[in-house]
Amino acid sequence: MPLVTCPVCESQVSKKAHACPKCGEPDPVNYHATNRWLGNLFWLLVIAGIGYAGWVYVWPLVVDVFNR
């Protein structure tokens, strides 16, 4: 049975375990996958916000400069 290291308490846990028997961390195998997904979502929203700000505030200024 393959074992993985719990990301919280660093004890060995079975890949099939639903929680770490030592610290109780739920689903220790997918702990980093959840954090990575939330991090990617955060950066996607930041990039979308920068794109929106550029489109609404910067693009009209650029168009105005070239139309003079």
Mean pLDDT value across residues 39-52? 95
User: 35: closest CA among 23, 45, 47, 43?
Assistant: 43
pLDDT tens digits, 3-34: 888 888 888 988 888 888 888 888 777 766 66
Tell me how many degrees the CA angle 33-38-44 measures, rounded to the nearest 5: 125
Helices (H), the chain: 31-53, 59-66
Q: Tokens 């639903």 map to which residue?
A: 18
Q: Which of 18, 38, 40, 36 is nearest to 27 (CA)?
A: 18
Q: What is the pTM of this model?
A: 0.50
